[in-house]
Amino acid sequence: MYAYALLEPGFYYLIQENKEEPISLIRVNVETDYCLFVSRFTDQELVEWKRKTDPIHDIIELLSDEAAEAWEASFNARYDLEEDDESND
C-alpha cells in the first residue's frame, strides 16, 4: 500500500487507487504541506484535491517524458477532432 505523498508534482503516473478498480492516469499539479492537487484523466479531465495520506493500492508506473508527450498528443488530438465535429454541425 502506498500514499499520494510519494508522488511528485509535474509528473504523470499510472495508479490503481483500490485493488478492484481500473488503472487511472493522473498528473500531480500542485503540492501543499498536506495535500496534492491532481488531474485524473478518463474520458475527460477531472481535477481534485487528495490528502498526502490518502492510500493508493499500487503505483504502477511513472510515465517517461516520451510516453507523457505521446499520451498528451493523443489526448489533445481527440479533443481537436471533437471540436471539429461540433463546428461542422
Q: What are the CA-CA distances from residue 72 to residues 27, 34, 61, 86 (Å)?
A: 11, 28, 16, 21
* Cβ-based neighbours of 62, under 8 Å, separated by 6 or more: 11, 12, 13
pLDDT digits (tens, 9 = 90+) for 6-15: 999 999 999 9
Q: Is 53 exposed, middle or buried (0-12, 13-18, 19+ CB in 10 A)?
A: exposed
pLDDT, tens digit (0-9, with 9 covering 90-100), for 37-86: 999 998 789 999 999 999 999 999 999 999 999 999 988 887 665 566 56
Domain boundaries, the chain: 2-63
